[in-house]
Amino acid sequence: MQDSLIETGPADAQPLAEIRLNTGLSIIIPTYKEVENIPHILNRLDALRQNYNLTLEVLFMDDDSQDGSVEAVAASGFDWARMIVRTKNRGLSWAVIDGFSAAQYPILVCMDCDLSHPPEKIPQMVLGLATDQQMMVGSRYVPGASTDDDWGFMRWLNSVVATMLARPLTSVRDPMSGFFAMRKADFDRAQDLNPVGYKIALELIVKCAFGNVGEVPIHFTDRVHGESKLTLKEQLKYIQHLRRLYLYRFANAMYLAQFLVVGASGVVVNLLVLSLLQLIGLPDALCLAGGIGVSVVTNFMLNRRFTFSYARDRNIAAQFAGFVGASAIGVAVSFGVSLILRESAFEGMSYGLQLAALCGIAAGMIFNYLGNRYFVFRKTHIRK
């Protein structure tokens, strides 16, 4: 943790305007075709710099916009601002990660270039880090915050649903915000950063295991200049990102949940195939065998592709043999457990056979899951 960031006493002892911040700030701004906004944001940051006598650097992390952005930063004449042009590993989140890595000061701030995020809130955010907060978020969803009036219903709904889906990962009200501050030391310790899409704050909250995240209310202004890059494709990437984060945070529960969903899909496939074969007039035994055969293959493929995707570059034939073997042993376990229970715990009970069968199915499934998780798709020996 940093020593005091504040030169002159705690925040509530004096008005914010009088506080002098003596720790340098690195402000990271990911950009793509933001040439019109660059002079405006630099002027607002310069005003802030002078008001608070800040030591800061501003790094524009640009994905090779080629729209005059480089020249716009140079023309500002501010020696504390520079542009880093990126040609590899493009994308907003990676631009921020690269900027955080390149930063030279102990406090990191991330913000958009389109003036949606008020730079004037930065001192309050930095102040939060001076207490025990690990991250401070410029938030649209805490009391005192607001958004421009023309946020349509769909945009609002979209944002609410996205935030709700992240709720099991963090209680932060606005984890989707692109405006946040944290310590460089915490960033340097972060491991396994692997974001897809836009939600870099959420990625950092989960991967740094931040429990103390403070929120500062902001007024979120819609962009006036330039175009939004938040396309539908980006929004779909969020689902992929969420899946990764859930896997990271709740690995075992997620593997089991996905395994069960795949199992349920297998029931549907089985019945569909069986009915189709019956329609074309095959004998019952062949219909049953067809349903089982196809659903075993689809279950295997789905588990390999999704549930245990970390192992999908391993030998498919060996995995398939293991999968079928585990299923066969699972069936045997199910049969054995059912028989034993039928003759012991459930003996003489009405529906005793059905109850015994249900327990057998559960035991078989658990065996099957464990066999796949720890043997067929085990995590060791993953080829890089």
Ligand X SMILES: Nc1nc2c(ncn2[C@@H]2O[C@H](COP(=O)(O)OP(=O)(O)OP(=O)(O)O)[C@@H](O)[C@H]2O)c(=O)[nH]1
Map residues 53-92 to x or -, x wherever contact with Mg ion holds by CB under 5 A: ----------------------------------------
Instruction: Give CA–CA dist 369/160, Å, rounded.
Output: 35
| Residue 66 beta carbon to ligand X: minimum distance, rounded to whole angstroms | 13
- Write phi, then psi, for 182 (nearest 5 degrees): -155, 175
Map residues 99-118 to x or -, x wherever contact with ligand X holds by CB under 6 A: -------------xxx-x--
Instruction: Give CA–CA dist 311/380, Å, rounded.
Output: 9
Q: Does 37 bind Mg ion (CB under 5 A)?
A: no
**Closer Cβ to Mg ion, 114 or 215, answer by number:** 114
Q: Does 46 bind ligand X (CB under 6 A)?
A: no
**Closer Cβ to Mg ion, 62 or 114, answer by number:** 114
| Binder of ligand X out of 87, 104, 191, 228 (CB under 6 A) | 228
| Residue 220 beta carbon to ligand X: minimum distance, rounded to whole angstroms | 9
Residues 6 or more apart from 315 whose CB is under 8 A from it? none
| Residue 13 beta carbon to ligand X: minimum distance, rounded to whole angstroms | 36
Identify the sign of the CA torsion 165, 167, 169, 175.
positive
Q: Does 177 bind Mg ion (CB under 5 A)?
A: no
Instruction: Give CA–CA dist 153/203, Å, rounded.
Output: 27
| Residue 45 beta carbon to Mg ion: minimum distance, rounded to whole angstroms | 17
Helices 69-76 and 38-52 sit at what angle, rounded to 10 degrees?
A: 30
Helices 232-249 and 153-165 sit at what angle, rounded to 10 degrees?
A: 20
Map residues 56-95 to x or -, x wherever contact with ligand X holds by CB under 6 A: -----xxx--------------------------xxx--x
Map residues 118-157 to x or -, x wherever contact with ligand X holds by CB under 6 A: ----------------------------------------
Q: Which residues of 299-318 are buried (b: 16+ CB within 10 A; e: fewer)?
A: bbebbbeebbeebeebeeee
Residues 6 or more apart from 193 whose CB is under 8 A from it? 97, 203, 204, 207
Q: Does 30 bind ligand X (CB under 6 A)?
A: yes
- Write phi, then psi, for 258 (nearest 5 degrees): -65, -40
Residue 113 binds which of Mg ion, ligand X, none (CB < 5-8 A, kind-dependent): ligand X
The first and second tokens of residue 166, run together, are 């992240």
Q: Which stretch binds ligand X (CB under 6 A): 128-136, 140-148, 208-216, 225-233?
A: 225-233
Q: Which residues of 126-135 are buried (b: 16+ CB within 10 A; e: fewer)?
A: bbbbbeebbb
Map residues 161-190 to x or -, x wherever contact with ligand X holds by CB under 6 A: -----------------x------------
Nearest to 221 by CA among 111, 143, 126: 111
Q: Residue numbers of the site for ligand X (CB under 6 A)?
A: 30-32, 34, 61-63, 90-92, 95, 112-114, 116, 178, 223, 228-230
Q: Residue numbers of the site for Mg ion (CB under 5 A)?
A: 112, 114, 116
